[in-house]
Structure 1
Protein backbone atom coordinates (compact mmCIF):
# COMPACT_ATOMS: atom_id res chain seq x y z
CA UNK A 1 0.00 0.00 0.00
CA UNK A 2 1.16 3.53 -0.68
CA UNK A 3 2.46 5.49 2.28
CA UNK A 4 0.47 8.47 3.51
CA UNK A 5 2.98 10.88 2.01
CA UNK A 6 2.59 9.46 -1.49
CA UNK A 7 -1.07 8.48 -1.35
CA UNK A 8 -2.37 11.97 -2.06
CA UNK A 9 -0.59 14.79 -3.83
CA UNK A 10 -1.04 18.24 -2.36
CA UNK A 11 -1.71 21.12 -4.75
CA UNK A 12 -2.38 24.82 -4.48
CA UNK A 13 -5.43 26.03 -6.33
CA UNK A 14 -6.12 29.59 -7.42
CA UNK A 15 -8.29 31.43 -4.96
CA UNK A 16 -7.59 29.03 -2.08
CA UNK A 17 -5.22 29.52 0.79
CA UNK A 18 -3.14 26.72 2.21
CA UNK A 19 -2.85 23.22 0.80
CA UNK A 20 -5.82 21.41 -0.67
CA UNK A 21 -5.75 17.66 -1.14
CA UNK A 22 -7.05 16.04 -4.28
CA UNK A 23 -9.79 13.68 -3.20
CA UNK A 24 -11.62 10.81 -4.83
CA UNK A 25 -14.49 13.23 -5.45
CA UNK A 26 -12.12 15.53 -7.36
CA UNK A 27 -11.07 12.67 -9.63
CA UNK A 28 -14.68 11.54 -10.14
CA UNK A 29 -15.96 15.06 -10.81
CA UNK A 30 -13.28 15.71 -13.42
CA UNK A 31 -13.76 12.27 -14.99
CA UNK A 32 -17.52 12.87 -15.28
CA UNK A 33 -16.98 16.32 -16.77
CA UNK A 34 -14.48 14.88 -19.25
CA UNK A 35 -16.78 12.01 -20.21
CA UNK A 36 -19.58 14.48 -20.89
CA UNK A 37 -17.55 17.06 -22.78
CA UNK A 38 -14.93 14.95 -24.59
CA UNK A 39 -16.07 11.33 -24.53
CA UNK A 40 -14.77 8.19 -22.88
CA UNK A 41 -11.49 8.10 -24.86
CA UNK A 42 -10.45 11.32 -23.12
CA UNK A 43 -10.92 9.78 -19.67
CA UNK A 44 -7.27 8.88 -19.17
CA UNK A 45 -5.32 8.75 -15.92
CA UNK A 46 -2.38 10.83 -17.14
CA UNK A 47 -4.58 13.49 -18.75
CA UNK A 48 -6.80 13.79 -15.69
CA UNK A 49 -3.76 13.99 -13.41
CA UNK A 50 -2.30 16.78 -15.49
CA UNK A 51 -5.52 18.76 -15.24
CA UNK A 52 -5.53 18.26 -11.46
CA UNK A 53 -1.79 18.99 -11.32
CA UNK A 54 -1.01 15.76 -9.46
CA UNK A 55 0.90 12.58 -10.25
CA UNK A 56 -0.69 9.20 -10.89
CA UNK A 57 0.03 8.01 -7.36
CA UNK A 58 -2.97 10.04 -6.20
CA UNK A 59 -5.20 8.24 -8.69
CA UNK A 60 -4.09 4.77 -7.61
CA UNK A 61 -4.87 5.57 -3.99
CA UNK A 62 -8.55 5.76 -4.92
CA UNK A 63 -8.88 3.52 -7.98
CA UNK A 64 -7.35 0.18 -8.92
CA UNK A 65 -7.09 1.05 -12.61
CA UNK A 66 -8.60 3.12 -15.39
CA UNK A 67 -11.17 0.35 -15.82
CA UNK A 68 -12.09 0.68 -12.16
CA UNK A 69 -12.69 4.40 -12.72
CA UNK A 70 -14.82 3.68 -15.79
CA UNK A 71 -16.84 1.12 -13.85
CA UNK A 72 -17.46 3.68 -11.12
CA UNK A 73 -18.56 6.25 -13.69
CA UNK A 74 -21.14 3.75 -14.94
CA UNK A 75 -22.24 3.08 -11.36
CA UNK A 76 -22.64 6.83 -10.80
CA UNK A 77 -24.77 7.10 -13.95
CA UNK A 78 -26.89 4.10 -12.96
CA UNK A 79 -27.30 5.19 -9.34
CA UNK A 80 -28.46 8.65 -10.34
CA UNK A 81 -30.21 8.72 -13.71
CA UNK A 82 -31.88 5.32 -13.48
CA UNK A 83 -32.50 5.32 -9.74
CA UNK A 84 -34.41 8.58 -9.72
CA UNK A 85 -36.66 7.58 -12.63
CA UNK A 86 -37.48 4.36 -10.79
CA UNK A 87 -38.08 6.20 -7.52
CA UNK A 88 -40.23 8.90 -9.09
CA UNK A 89 -42.33 6.33 -10.93
CA UNK A 90 -42.90 4.46 -7.67
CA UNK A 91 -44.13 7.48 -5.70
CA UNK A 92 -47.72 7.28 -4.48
CA UNK A 93 -50.10 9.37 -6.59
CA UNK A 94 -53.85 9.94 -6.44
CA UNK A 95 -54.16 9.86 -10.24
CA UNK A 96 -52.21 8.61 -13.24
CA UNK A 97 -51.69 12.19 -14.39
CA UNK A 98 -50.10 13.04 -11.04
CA UNK A 99 -47.97 9.90 -11.32
CA UNK A 100 -46.71 10.99 -14.75
CA UNK A 101 -45.99 14.46 -13.39
CA UNK A 102 -43.79 12.80 -10.78
CA UNK A 103 -41.75 11.26 -13.61
CA UNK A 104 -41.75 14.57 -15.51
CA UNK A 105 -39.81 16.06 -12.60
CA UNK A 106 -36.80 14.09 -13.86
CA UNK A 107 -36.95 15.88 -17.23
CA UNK A 108 -36.89 19.34 -15.63
CA UNK A 109 -34.50 18.80 -12.71
CA UNK A 110 -30.93 17.79 -13.62
CA UNK A 111 -30.27 16.76 -10.02
CA UNK A 112 -32.69 13.89 -10.73
CA UNK A 113 -31.65 13.15 -14.31
CA UNK A 114 -28.58 14.50 -16.11
CA UNK A 115 -29.32 14.35 -19.85
CA UNK A 116 -25.76 15.25 -20.87
CA UNK A 117 -24.39 12.35 -18.85
CA UNK A 118 -27.01 10.03 -20.31
CA UNK A 119 -26.06 11.12 -23.83
CA UNK A 120 -22.36 10.62 -23.08
CA UNK A 121 -22.92 7.09 -21.77
CA UNK A 122 -25.00 6.24 -24.84
CA UNK A 123 -22.19 7.48 -27.07
CA UNK A 124 -19.79 5.32 -25.06
CA UNK A 125 -22.07 2.32 -25.55
CA UNK A 126 -21.53 2.54 -29.30
CA UNK A 127 -17.86 1.73 -28.70
CA UNK A 128 -18.30 -1.05 -26.14
CA UNK A 129 -20.52 -4.12 -26.33
CA UNK A 130 -20.47 -4.42 -22.53
CA UNK A 131 -21.54 -0.82 -22.00
CA UNK A 132 -24.22 -1.28 -24.67
CA UNK A 133 -25.53 -4.27 -22.71
CA UNK A 134 -25.61 -2.23 -19.51
CA UNK A 135 -27.40 0.68 -21.19
CA UNK A 136 -30.00 -1.71 -22.59
CA UNK A 137 -30.55 -3.18 -19.11
CA UNK A 138 -30.98 0.29 -17.62
CA UNK A 139 -33.43 1.34 -20.34
CA UNK A 140 -35.42 -1.82 -19.63
CA UNK A 141 -35.41 -1.06 -15.90
CA UNK A 142 -36.63 2.49 -16.50
CA UNK A 143 -39.40 1.39 -18.86
CA UNK A 144 -40.44 -1.36 -16.45
CA UNK A 145 -40.74 1.14 -13.60
CA UNK A 146 -43.01 3.35 -15.69
CA UNK A 147 -44.96 0.30 -16.88
CA UNK A 148 -45.56 -0.71 -13.27
CA UNK A 149 -46.77 2.83 -12.58
CA UNK A 150 -49.39 2.58 -15.33
CA UNK A 151 -50.38 -0.90 -14.15
CA UNK A 152 -51.01 0.35 -10.62
CA UNK A 153 -53.45 2.87 -12.06
CA UNK A 154 -55.53 0.23 -13.81
CA UNK A 155 -54.07 -0.01 -17.30
CA UNK A 156 -54.01 -3.46 -18.89
CA UNK A 157 -50.61 -5.11 -19.24
CA UNK A 158 -49.97 -4.46 -22.93
CA UNK A 159 -51.30 -0.91 -22.80
CA UNK A 160 -49.23 -0.13 -19.71
CA UNK A 161 -46.10 -1.43 -21.44
CA UNK A 162 -46.68 0.52 -24.65
CA UNK A 163 -47.55 3.75 -22.83
CA UNK A 164 -44.40 3.36 -20.73
CA UNK A 165 -42.24 2.91 -23.81
CA UNK A 166 -43.82 5.89 -25.56
CA UNK A 167 -43.38 8.14 -22.52
CA UNK A 168 -39.79 7.15 -21.87
CA UNK A 169 -38.42 6.89 -25.40
CA UNK A 170 -40.11 10.13 -26.45
CA UNK A 171 -38.08 11.97 -23.84
CA UNK A 172 -34.85 10.14 -24.73
CA UNK A 173 -35.54 11.13 -28.33
CA UNK A 174 -35.77 14.78 -27.30
CA UNK A 175 -32.32 14.50 -25.73
CA UNK A 176 -30.83 12.61 -28.68
CA UNK A 177 -32.08 15.26 -31.11
CA UNK A 178 -30.82 17.99 -28.74
CA UNK A 179 -34.17 19.74 -28.79
CA UNK A 180 -34.03 22.86 -26.64
CA UNK A 181 -37.35 24.24 -25.48
CA UNK A 182 -38.01 27.01 -22.94
CA UNK A 183 -39.33 25.69 -19.66
CA UNK A 184 -42.34 27.95 -19.99
CA UNK A 185 -43.31 26.26 -23.24
CA UNK A 186 -42.94 22.80 -21.71
CA UNK A 187 -45.14 23.76 -18.79
CA UNK A 188 -47.74 25.31 -21.10
CA UNK A 189 -47.89 22.07 -23.09
CA UNK A 190 -47.90 19.81 -20.03
CA UNK A 191 -51.70 19.24 -19.99
CA UNK A 192 -51.54 18.10 -23.63
CA UNK A 193 -48.57 15.84 -22.88
CA UNK A 194 -50.48 14.30 -19.99
CA UNK A 195 -53.54 13.69 -22.17
CA UNK A 196 -51.34 12.12 -24.86
CA UNK A 197 -49.44 9.86 -22.47
CA UNK A 198 -52.35 8.80 -20.25
CA UNK A 199 -55.53 9.33 -22.27
CA UNK A 200 -56.84 11.42 -19.36
CA UNK A 201 -57.12 15.11 -18.58
CA UNK A 202 -55.14 16.26 -15.51
CA UNK A 203 -57.13 16.93 -12.39
CA UNK A 204 -57.77 20.49 -11.30
CA UNK A 205 -54.68 22.06 -9.76
CA UNK A 206 -52.23 19.27 -10.64
CA UNK A 207 -50.39 21.10 -13.40
CA UNK A 208 -50.37 24.38 -11.48
CA UNK A 209 -48.85 22.69 -8.44
CA UNK A 210 -46.29 20.98 -10.67
CA UNK A 211 -45.28 24.27 -12.27
CA UNK A 212 -45.00 25.99 -8.89
CA UNK A 213 -42.78 23.18 -7.65
CA UNK A 214 -40.52 22.95 -10.70
CA UNK A 215 -39.92 26.59 -11.66
CA UNK A 216 -37.57 27.34 -8.73
CA UNK A 217 -35.47 24.26 -9.63
CA UNK A 218 -35.14 25.19 -13.31
CA UNK A 219 -34.14 28.79 -12.59
CA UNK A 220 -31.00 27.53 -10.78
Structure 2
Protein backbone atom coordinates (compact mmCIF):
# COMPACT_ATOMS: atom_id res chain seq x y z
CA UNK A 1 0.00 0.00 0.00
CA UNK A 2 1.29 3.44 -0.98
CA UNK A 3 1.42 5.91 1.91
CA UNK A 4 1.72 9.66 1.61
CA UNK A 5 4.59 10.83 3.78
CA UNK A 6 3.55 12.94 6.76
CA UNK A 7 4.80 16.50 6.42
CA UNK A 8 5.98 17.86 9.72
CA UNK A 9 6.04 21.62 9.93
CA UNK A 10 7.89 23.17 12.84
CA UNK A 11 6.81 26.06 15.00
CA UNK A 12 9.69 28.11 13.52
CA UNK A 13 8.38 27.46 10.00
CA UNK A 14 4.93 28.68 11.04
CA UNK A 15 6.41 31.80 12.65
CA UNK A 16 8.54 32.53 9.58
CA UNK A 17 5.50 32.10 7.32
CA UNK A 18 3.49 34.39 9.61
CA UNK A 19 6.15 37.12 9.47
CA UNK A 20 6.36 36.80 5.69
CA UNK A 21 2.58 37.00 5.17
CA UNK A 22 2.14 39.81 7.69
CA UNK A 23 4.85 41.87 5.97
CA UNK A 24 3.09 41.32 2.63
CA UNK A 25 -0.50 42.12 3.62
CA UNK A 26 -0.90 42.59 7.36
CA UNK A 27 -3.73 40.96 9.25
CA UNK A 28 -5.47 40.10 5.97
CA UNK A 29 -2.59 37.74 5.16
CA UNK A 30 -3.23 35.66 8.27
CA UNK A 31 -5.39 33.02 6.58
CA UNK A 32 -4.46 29.76 8.29
CA UNK A 33 -5.66 27.50 5.43
CA UNK A 34 -3.58 29.38 2.84
CA UNK A 35 -0.47 29.38 4.99
CA UNK A 36 -0.90 25.66 5.71
CA UNK A 37 -1.20 24.97 1.97
CA UNK A 38 2.00 26.94 1.31
CA UNK A 39 3.77 25.01 4.05
CA UNK A 40 2.45 21.70 2.69
CA UNK A 41 0.56 20.68 5.82
CA UNK A 42 -2.95 20.65 7.23
CA UNK A 43 -4.28 23.54 9.28
CA UNK A 44 -4.43 21.26 12.33
CA UNK A 45 -0.62 21.65 12.43
CA UNK A 46 -1.18 25.32 13.24
CA UNK A 47 -3.30 24.46 16.28
CA UNK A 48 -0.62 22.10 17.55
CA UNK A 49 1.55 25.16 18.26
CA UNK A 50 -0.92 28.04 18.68
CA UNK A 51 -4.26 28.37 20.46
CA UNK A 52 -5.60 30.93 18.02
CA UNK A 53 -4.66 33.56 15.45
CA UNK A 54 -4.11 36.28 18.07
CA UNK A 55 -1.52 34.16 19.93
CA UNK A 56 0.15 33.32 16.62
CA UNK A 57 0.43 37.01 15.71
CA UNK A 58 1.76 37.90 19.17
CA UNK A 59 4.42 35.18 18.89
CA UNK A 60 5.69 36.16 15.44
CA UNK A 61 5.66 39.86 16.37
CA UNK A 62 7.86 38.93 19.34
CA UNK A 63 10.13 36.90 17.04
CA UNK A 64 10.30 39.78 14.54
CA UNK A 65 11.26 42.18 17.34
CA UNK A 66 14.10 39.86 18.33
CA UNK A 67 15.36 39.60 14.77
CA UNK A 68 14.81 43.21 13.73
CA UNK A 69 16.05 44.83 16.94
CA UNK A 70 18.05 42.51 19.20
CA UNK A 71 19.96 40.94 16.32
CA UNK A 72 20.93 44.36 14.96
CA UNK A 73 22.12 45.48 18.39
CA UNK A 74 24.12 42.27 18.91
CA UNK A 75 25.75 42.41 15.48
CA UNK A 76 26.89 45.99 15.89
CA UNK A 77 27.91 45.73 19.55
CA UNK A 78 30.53 43.02 18.91
CA UNK A 79 32.66 45.48 16.95
CA UNK A 80 35.50 47.10 18.85
CA UNK A 81 35.34 50.79 17.94
CA UNK A 82 32.32 52.99 18.56
CA UNK A 83 32.42 54.42 15.04
CA UNK A 84 32.39 50.88 13.60
CA UNK A 85 29.39 50.06 15.81
CA UNK A 86 27.55 53.15 14.53
CA UNK A 87 28.41 52.29 10.93
CA UNK A 88 27.16 48.72 11.39
CA UNK A 89 23.95 49.97 13.01
CA UNK A 90 23.35 52.26 10.03
CA UNK A 91 24.16 49.48 7.55
CA UNK A 92 21.68 47.19 9.31
CA UNK A 93 19.01 49.90 9.36
CA UNK A 94 19.30 51.03 5.77
CA UNK A 95 20.01 47.67 4.10
CA UNK A 96 16.62 46.18 4.92
CA UNK A 97 14.43 47.01 1.94
CA UNK A 98 12.35 44.99 -0.48
CA UNK A 99 10.98 42.75 2.28
CA UNK A 100 7.47 44.07 2.70
CA UNK A 101 6.10 46.39 5.32
CA UNK A 102 5.99 44.63 8.68
CA UNK A 103 6.31 47.85 10.71
CA UNK A 104 3.47 49.58 8.84
CA UNK A 105 1.12 46.67 9.49
CA UNK A 106 2.26 46.47 13.11
CA UNK A 107 1.32 50.14 13.54
CA UNK A 108 -2.14 49.38 12.14
CA UNK A 109 -2.50 46.41 14.47
CA UNK A 110 -1.40 48.56 17.42
CA UNK A 111 -4.35 50.90 16.75
CA UNK A 112 -6.71 47.96 17.41
CA UNK A 113 -4.93 46.15 20.26
CA UNK A 114 -3.31 47.86 23.23
CA UNK A 115 -0.84 44.99 23.77
CA UNK A 116 0.64 45.54 20.31
CA UNK A 117 0.86 49.28 21.00
CA UNK A 118 3.02 48.49 24.04
CA UNK A 119 5.17 46.12 21.98
CA UNK A 120 5.65 48.72 19.24
CA UNK A 121 6.58 51.42 21.76
CA UNK A 122 9.06 49.09 23.45
CA UNK A 123 10.71 48.20 20.13
CA UNK A 124 11.04 51.81 19.05
CA UNK A 125 12.26 52.98 22.46
CA UNK A 126 14.91 50.22 22.48
CA UNK A 127 16.08 51.17 18.98
CA UNK A 128 16.42 54.87 19.81
CA UNK A 129 18.02 54.12 23.18
CA UNK A 130 20.71 51.98 21.55
CA UNK A 131 21.54 54.70 18.99
CA UNK A 132 21.64 57.23 21.84
CA UNK A 133 24.09 55.03 23.77
CA UNK A 134 26.36 54.77 20.73
CA UNK A 135 26.26 58.52 20.08
CA UNK A 136 27.10 59.18 23.74
CA UNK A 137 30.00 56.70 23.56
CA UNK A 138 31.22 58.60 20.49
CA UNK A 139 31.53 61.72 22.68
CA UNK A 140 28.22 63.46 22.08
CA UNK A 141 26.56 65.16 25.08
CA UNK A 142 23.67 62.97 26.37
CA UNK A 143 20.87 65.42 25.51
CA UNK A 144 22.19 65.91 21.97
CA UNK A 145 22.66 62.14 21.58
CA UNK A 146 19.04 61.59 22.59
CA UNK A 147 17.78 64.22 20.14
CA UNK A 148 19.87 62.87 17.28
CA UNK A 149 18.82 59.28 17.94
CA UNK A 150 15.19 60.46 17.80
CA UNK A 151 15.85 62.30 14.52
CA UNK A 152 17.74 59.33 13.05
CA UNK A 153 14.96 56.87 13.86
CA UNK A 154 12.22 59.06 12.46
CA UNK A 155 14.31 59.80 9.38
CA UNK A 156 14.73 56.02 8.96
CA UNK A 157 10.93 55.53 9.12
CA UNK A 158 10.42 58.01 6.28
CA UNK A 159 13.33 56.66 4.28
CA UNK A 160 12.07 53.11 4.65
CA UNK A 161 8.55 54.12 3.62
CA UNK A 162 9.96 55.63 0.44
CA UNK A 163 12.23 52.67 -0.42
CA UNK A 164 10.48 49.63 1.12
CA UNK A 165 9.69 47.95 -2.20
CA UNK A 166 13.09 48.58 -3.82
CA UNK A 167 16.38 46.75 -3.69
CA UNK A 168 19.02 49.37 -2.86
CA UNK A 169 22.56 48.75 -4.14
CA UNK A 170 25.33 48.46 -1.55
CA UNK A 171 27.28 51.44 -2.90
CA UNK A 172 24.16 53.62 -2.58
CA UNK A 173 23.64 52.44 1.00
CA UNK A 174 27.23 53.26 1.94
CA UNK A 175 27.03 56.69 0.29
CA UNK A 176 23.86 57.30 2.29
CA UNK A 177 25.51 56.13 5.52
CA UNK A 178 28.50 58.42 5.03
CA UNK A 179 26.12 61.36 4.59
CA UNK A 180 24.28 60.40 7.79
CA UNK A 181 27.51 60.05 9.77
CA UNK A 182 28.61 63.47 8.57
CA UNK A 183 25.28 65.10 9.46
CA UNK A 184 24.71 63.33 12.78
CA UNK A 185 28.22 62.96 14.14
CA UNK A 186 30.41 65.27 12.14
CA UNK A 187 32.35 62.19 10.97
CA UNK A 188 33.99 62.43 7.55
CA UNK A 189 35.82 59.60 5.82
CA UNK A 190 36.32 57.50 8.95
CA UNK A 191 37.55 60.34 11.22
CA UNK A 192 35.94 62.04 14.20
TM-score band, normalised by shorter chain: 0.7 to 0.9
Write out aligned runs for 1:86-165 (5 A): 86-88=73-75, 90-96=77-83, 98-110=84-96, 116-165=101-150
Q: Structure 1 residues 91 and 155, CA, compared in 2 at 3 Å: closer, same or farther?
A: farther
CA distance in 1, matches of 2:147, 2:75: 19
Q: Indicate how the Cα distance of structure 1 residues 184 and 92 shifts in structure 2: closer, same or farther if over 3 A, else same.
A: closer
Distance 1:88 1:164 in 2: 18
CA contact 2:128–2:150 (8 Å) conserved in 1: yes
CA gap of 1:29–1:72, structure 2 versus 1, over 3 A, is same
- Classify the secondary structure of the residue corresponding to 2:18: helix
Provide the residue aligned with 2:13 in structure 1.
Answer: 26
Q: Deviations over 1:186-219 (max 9, x none)?
A: 3234332211111222326xxxxxxxxxxxxxxx
Change (3 A) 1:168 1:32: same
Query: Is the contact between residue 90 and residue 177 of structure 2 (CA under 8 Å) also seen in structure 1?
Result: no
Contact 1:63 1:69 in 2 (8 A): yes
Deviations 1:78-136 (A, max 9, x none): 1111112332453444353x3320202213554xxx67333332343243332122111
CA RMSD of aligned residues (A): 2.8
Measured against aligned partners, the alpha-carbon deviations of 1:120-159 in whole angstroms (never above 9, x if no partner) come to 3234324333212211111011100111111122211111
Is the partner of 2:163 in helix, strand or coil? coil
Task: Return the alpha-carbon distance in structure 1 between the equivalents of residues 100 and 148 of structure 2.
Answer: 21
Measured in 2, the distance between the counterparts of 1:21 and 1:94 equals 45
Distance 2:169 2:42 in 1: 43
How many Å separate the matches in 2 of 1:194 and 1:91? 20
1:31-57 superposed Cα distances (whole Å, 9 cap, x missing partner): 222111121133133443344454332
Q: Distance in 2 between matches of 1:115 and 1:55?
A: 26
* Partner Cα distance (2:13, 2:85) in 1: 37
Report which of the two structures shows the higher radius of gyration computed on alpha carbons.
1
**Of 139, 146, 151, the match for 1:166:** 151
Size of the aligned set, in residue pairs, is 186
SS at match of 1:20: coil
Gaps of 5+ in 1: 1-10, 13-17, 205-220
Distance in 2, matches of 1:195 and 1:109, equals 19
After superposing the two structures, state which structure 1 stretch, 137-146 or 58-67, moved more.
58-67
